[in-house]
Amino acid sequence: MARRKLRVYEKKPFKTVVYVVLRFLVIISMIRQFMQGNFGGVALCILTLILFLIPSILNKRFNIELPDTLEVIIYLFIFSAEILGEINAFYVHFRHWDTMMHTMNGFIMGAIGFALIDILNKSEQVHMSLSPVFVSLVAFCFSMTVGVAWEFFEYGVDQIFGRDMQKDTIITEIYSVKFDEKEGNNVVKVPIESLEVNGEDWIANYGGYIDVGLHDTMKDLLVNFLGALIFSVIGWFYLMGENDTALKFLPKQKKNPIA
């Protein structure tokens, strides 16, 4: 078994280096969180190490092999979301970090959804033959469904545990029919020029009023849409035989199960 693993490492040095380095950084982060008494951070590091095992579990238990490119992207995505994003507060310090994560998620889920349908399409045991357009559409819908489910999860965590996964947005004006004096359906623009909450001047301190998660959720779904759309187009070209780029991201089922 050890020799088999050694041969795999020798054939795929880049993936192995990325995997080992990221695991090492997670362990260092876990030790640091423990020394600081942040046991929530320790739990997050443990979760990250478990998530790193997903490609191996898919390989051994479900006989599915991930391309090196996709596997490396998954490792980097997990590390960037959990260790950099949550523990090191990249979501707060870098304005577009969350946007990048949701775009990558849309792309990755698009690849996984595409692969699931493509595997069934090519299976001799399943009698189905779907057109390239339909396969790409299903992949797109799969990715968007995962994205929506994740937003449900974020909302649930915020409401039940009092967290802030759906980040707030500062707004300086409001457009609403609520301010129509004639009680009609006319949209009225109301600039937020002064605002005091609990004796604190929010305009001076924060620059405006806080939108509690709506803008963040819609932005997340929009970039998830873009990521899913990009892969769906790449997948369509692949099925049409015009480009093999998709092969770098498509999980595939092995012909010979691992004993």
Contact 143, 224 (CB under 8 A): yes
Q: Domain ends where: 94, 122, 137?
A: 94
pLDDT in tens, 81-98: 999 999 999 998 998 999
Core vs surface per residue 48-65: b (16+ CB within 10 A) or e: beebbeebeeebeeeebb
Give this prediction's pTM: 0.86
Q: What is the pLDDT of residue 14?
A: 86
Judge whether 259 lies within some domain.
no
Domain match, 19 and 74 both: yes
Domain match, 9 and 125 both: no
Domain match, 100 and 124 both: yes
Q: What is the pLDDT of residue 256?
A: 57
Q: Domain ends where: 94, 114, 134?
A: 94
pLDDT in tens, 165-187: 888 889 999 999 999 888 889 99
Q: What is the pLDDT of residue 258?
A: 43
Q: What is the pLDDT of residue 3?
A: 52
Whose structure tokens read 């909302």?
A: 155
Q: Where are the beta strands (DSSP E) in 31-162?
A: 64-65
Give the residue numbers spanning the domain of 155.
95-166+212-250
Domain match, 158 and 231 both: yes
Domain match, 139 and 230 both: yes
Q: What is the pLDDT of residue 11?
A: 63
Q: Domain ends where: 76, 94, 112?
A: 94
Domain count, the chain: 3
Domain match, 102 and 205 both: no
Residues (pLDDT < 70) of the chain are 1-11, 124, 126-128, 255-259
